[in-house]
Amino acid sequence: MELPRYAEVDLSTGEVKDYPISRDYFERYLGGKALAARILYDVLPPGVSPLSPENVLIINTGPLTGTGAPSSGRFNVTTKNVLTGGIASSNCGGALGVRLRRAGYEGLIIRGRAPSPSFIEVVDGQIRIRDALDLWGLNTEETRLRFGREYGTLVIGPAGENQVRYACAVSGERVIGRCGVGAVMGSKNLKAVVASGKKKIPLAEPEAFREFSRRWVKLLQAHTSTGEILPRYGTANFVLKMNRAGILPTRNYQRGKFEQADKISGEYLAEKHLVRNSGCPGCPIRCERRVMLGDKEVKGPEYETLGMLGSNLENSDLEMIKLWNHQADLLGLDTISLGSVLGFAMELQERGIKDFGLRFGETAGIAEVINKIAYREGEYSDLADGVKAMADKYGGREFAIHSKGLELAAYDPRKAVGMGLGYATANRGGCHLNGGYLVFLEALGPLFIDALTDKGKPALTVLFQNGMEAISAAGSCLFTSFTLVPDLIYKMNPGGAVLRLLGKSMIGSRFLLERTGGLLPCLLPFNSLYLFPQAQAVRLATGIKMTTGKFLQLGERSFNMERVFNIREGLNGAEDTLPLRLTSETIDPARADTKVDLSSMLPLYYKIRGWDKAGQPTTQKLQQLQIVV
């Protein structure tokens, strides 16, 4: 077994040295966000400010990254979260991860602050810190093009340089979007990390791995979700589904339905704007939309952007959403947080609290405001600090839509209460993915569970969160999990008796999960192409004895490791909450149950997790997961 190679890079001193990863750590945490959480806990002193030189930035890959497994061109960035003060973990499908492995490294641990703008270059096993004075001030596209096609890149734009608290980093045209990773890079005077190399990525059982990967690709291509819907519409296909379910954020989450949703839908985009589809390196799903912006072909908006810069602002102008999306990518801004900030500012104006010149339904001037946010010009510097900071300064905390400081994604949880529990307990804040994405069963379909009941939601949230963690740790795309729902179900009558019965049975399965403390899935002693195929792929790639059960336990270990880090940094169970708008205001006045009742779900969620009543992992749980702190 070849252990992953990590390097520690100190930007303050210029020192580069190996950071050894033990076999024990590799087998327990694999890579990606799981191993990065363990390393961050080990190397970062408690209480460090996220934008100080002492903060640590970890860029790493998973064991499947660049191997030829489908949808495995992924890498992860982990640091201390600028918005929450807890853990930040963001995943990306750009070329840097693959190129980093081919350059001879699985991960970089970056600390310190360079005396002047710099970039890190990794080429064929050699790491150098280079001068970036001529790159400082360039947008993300201009910076990337300076390096040419031979490099995989991760770059920041002006928003990162100016330490906008939700600045992102960009790899190719894919985005490390959330938690202010771009601001951390900017605080370190780090404009870019680039990598190139020719190393062959080792496989424990190369022939068996390649055969398994071929079968996996065929499964993805034959499945309705990953072979038809996502390639045709991308994530934009969610717009009309979420609108029908009543959870498409509208007017800063005042409503869950947008009357003009059809004008920003994936179907409308495909009919009127789509040039072609594209995808990340090595991905057969190809969910990216390519559209025209004037005479230039650019990346089209994803669902989250359509929701947060569309319905959330009461804007149905798809041309403007395309423009703002591209502008945000060039400047290096997270479009989820950006849309939330703009919506919050609009409601402040609507209520007569503060006027930033922004109005619901009006698009004029927003492009200029986005620019001012990125450059922190005048009072718009307040918008650069995020919704929580704005509410602390101006008021309006009850309608400041965030959890732990991170703005929520484009799903109103009042008609998907399991998603609400996920938002509240997600380790990086208001994240749909780290939260488990239970909206997949509550609204996306084709297999539906009762979206308004709290029954079964704690158990299913734990299971989904653990699965998401494990997939990311392996270096695989979360969209591969869509095939967990058999394709046959996509062919059935959506409102038919069979699907209704299946949905009820999933809620009923909670008893098994609750009575085994959530451990039941971790007992599965086998591997399957149809149930977390990443487990078998990891076994064939690394030689680690991985079963589906052990794979899910890896996810549980990862989630708990992140939780332990957060508790050390002062984020405890009291932070597992949502804004009053979502917990006290019903989205449907005729239905008292269209709000998120966390008090009915959190105690059972903690119990299933093996945490105490305050939301802290017990000593017994940490010992069970072999987490040493």
Question: Where is the domain boundary, 150, 176, 196?
Answer: 196
CATH of the domain at 123: 3.60.9.10
Does 293 score more than 70 pLDDT? yes
104 in a structural domain: yes
220 in a structural domain: no
Report how far residue 333's alpha carbon sits from residue 156's, in angstroms, rounded to the nearest whole number.
Answer: 9
User: If residue 152 lies in a helix (H) or strand (E), which one and from where to where?
Assistant: strand 152-155
| Whether residues 419 and 389 fall in one domain | no
The structural domain count of the chain equals 3
Does 518 score more than 60 pLDDT? no
Q: Tens of pLDDT along 483-504? A: 999 998 888 777 777 777 777 7
Report how far residue 552's alpha carbon sits from residue 521's, in angstroms, rounded to the nearest whole number.
Answer: 7
| Whether residues 246 and 279 fall in one domain | yes
| Whether residues 382 and 461 fall in one domain | no
Question: Where is the domain boundary, 365, 395, 425?
Answer: 395
Report how far residue 374's alpha carbon sits from residue 157's, in angstroms, rounded to the nearest whole number.
Answer: 9
In this prediction, residue 523 carries a pLDDT of 61
When pLDDT is cut at 50, 70 and 90, the band that residue 525 belongs to is confident
| Whether residues 618 and 554 fall in one domain | yes
Report how far residue 518's alpha carbon sits from residue 462's, in angstroms, rounded to the nearest whole number.
Answer: 7
CATH of the domain at 319: 1.10.569.10
Reduce the DSSP state of residue 202 to 3 states and report it. Answer: coil
203 in a structural domain: no
215 in a structural domain: no
Structure-derived torsion over alpha carbons of residues 341, 346, 350, 355, reported in degrees to the nearest 10: 90
| Whether residues 174 and 302 fall in one domain | no
473 in a structural domain: yes
When pLDDT is cut at 50, 70 and 90, the band that residue 126 belongs to is very high
In the structure encoding, which two tokens stand for residue 200, read together? 């062959």
184 in a structural domain: yes
Prior bond of 446 cis (ω within 30°): yes
Report how far residue 535's alpha carbon sits from residue 330's, in angstroms, rounded to the nearest whole number.
Answer: 37
When pLDDT is cut at 50, 70 and 90, the band that residue 521 belongs to is low
Give me the amino acid identity at 206. P
The dihedrals phi and psi of 88, each to the nearest 5 degrees, come to: -115, 130
| Whether residues 15 and 45 fall in one domain | yes
Q: Tens of pLDDT along 430-439? A: 999 999 999 9
Report how far residue 342's alpha carbon sits from residue 313's, in angstroms, rounded to the nearest whole number.
Answer: 7
In this prediction, residue 439 carries a pLDDT of 96
CATH of the domain at 443: 1.10.599.10
In this prediction, residue 232 carries a pLDDT of 96
Query: Which CB contacts under 8 angstroms, 24+ apart, belong to 528-531?
Result: 529/212, 529/215, 529/216, 529/219, 530/219, 530/483, 530/484, 530/486, 531/484
User: What integer is the mean pLDDT of 546-570?
Assistant: 97
Domain containing 9 equals: 5-196
In the structure encoding, which two tokens stand for residue 196, read together? 């190139």
292 in a structural domain: yes
| Whether residues 443 and 374 fall in one domain | no
Q: Tens of pLDDT along 31-66? A: 999 999 999 999 999 999 999 999 999 999 999 999
In the structure encoding, which two tokens stand for residue 43, read together? 């190397």
Does 622 score more than 90 pLDDT? yes
| Whether residues 125 and 30 fall in one domain | yes
| Whether residues 428 and 456 fall in one domain | yes
Report how far residue 320's alpha carbon sits from residue 329's, in angstroms, rounded to the nearest whole number.
Answer: 14
| Whether residues 543 and 612 fall in one domain | yes
In this prediction, residue 1 carries a pLDDT of 77
Question: Where is the domain boundary, 395, 423, 443?
Answer: 395
Neighbours of 49 (CB within 10 A): 12
What one-character DSSP code corresponds to residue 301?
Answer: P
Closest CA to 31 of 563, 541, 564: 541
224 in a structural domain: no
Neighbours of 124 (CB within 10 A): 12
Q: Where are the beta strands (DSSP E) in 240-366?
A: 274-278, 288-293, 296-299
Strand bridging mode 5-10 / 107-111: parallel
CB 69 within 8 A of CB 537: yes
| Whether residues 390 and 443 fall in one domain | no
| Whether residues 364 and 438 fall in one domain | no
